[in-house]
Amino acid sequence: MKFGTKAIHAGVEPDPSTGAIMTPIYQTSTYVQRSPGDHKGYEYSRTHNPTRTQLQNALAALENGKHGLCFASGMAAVDAIMKLLKPGDEVISTNDLYGGSYRIFTKIFQNYGIKFHFTNMQDTANVEKLVNENTKMIWVETPTNPLLNIIDIKAYGKLCKKHNLLLVADNTFATPYLQTPLDMGADMVMHSLTKYMGGHSDVVMGAVVVNSDDLRERLAFIQNSCGATPGPQDCFLVLRGLKTLHLRMERHCQNGRQVAEFLKNHPKVNKVYWPGFAEHPNHEVAQKQMRDFGGMVSFELKGNNVDDAIRVLENLRLFALAESLGGVESLCGHPATMTHASIPREDRMKAGLSDTLIRLSVGVEDAEDLISDLEQAIG
């Protein structure tokens, strides 16, 4: 099936008891058994829920994977993946990582004896120098948040195979509409479903998709044992969102392109971060591994005055100043004080994440209106 058809049909079946075309919300905590251990595949909703099962199947299909597992948030999914490791293990990741991932790595799992290295991952040589006998995992985020740097998933797939490492790809910004990391050598694909996959700013959820039966069993054990599972109402909302993912992503990409080009030509804008520009670092890699370049755009004003950046954020009307991204409505944010505040300023500055950077999640409104809003706010 083509992607649009898959988004609507793959992994989802009409309800067998009624024929309902939409997956019902199985709002139940437990299930009646005929005899001890003799049940219909469901015992307790922390372990399994039919609404969640359908969503997990749909996610696996979209990512060209075998198994999907859903969690109560994107961070719960990150937490589960990290629990595959043990004290003494080491992880290599990018130096412009999402602030929430950086925080759980350095403030939680580092306390349990796991060591993390953060480096520029646009060149695999930087990473291979850090690989040692304790290295167990490489964590890729591409495009990165918020500098939209592009990391070559296929190159890291080969590197991980060479050194027998697990490769995890955070695919939140791209979604499987734009790229499918499992096809490029990743062992696990992680999502904050809160963002583009849900797409309507009304749910918080995370997911992991894998091909390996062993990884699926280990993650499912953690999922059930630790209990960070989503409720059926939230699963229903994400299932609904997936059915229009291809349509929304097409519009996000179209609008993102127009907004990026407007900002690039604005006399008060110093720099625009968007993978679709030929001069963007690793643009050629983005062309190869992505269908399009997405709806996330970041930029800095000339003069690098924090007060000017704050003024623009306060003056925007259609772009709402809020955490998160990937909804149908356009959002704006100030990474230094919002999404990436947990990263020390010195580390942020080394990675190129300045105090004046503005991040836009370009929604599906009319692009002309979004550009007019930016024009009046920048002045």
What are the catalytic residues? Answer: 46, 98, 170, 195
> Which DSSP string do the residues of 302-347 spell out, in sequence order?
TT--HHHHHHHHHH-SSSEE-S---SSS-EEE-TTTTTTTTS-HHH
Q: Cα separations (Å) of 256 from 87, 109, 148, 261, 374?
A: 42, 36, 13, 9, 13
Amino acid (one-letter) located at 278: A
SS3 label, residue 199: coil
- What are 202's two structure tokens? 């009304």
One-letter amino acid at 248 equals R
DSSP three-state, residue 72: coil
SS3 263: helix
Q: How far apart are CA 339 and CA 74, in angstroms?
A: 14
The CB-side HSE value for 7 (13 A sphere, CA atoms) comes to 20
Query: What is the pairing mode between strands 296-301 and 90-94?
Result: unpaired
Beta carbons of 53 and 23 less than 8 angstroms apart: no
Nearest CA among 42, 168, 56 for reference residue 101: 168
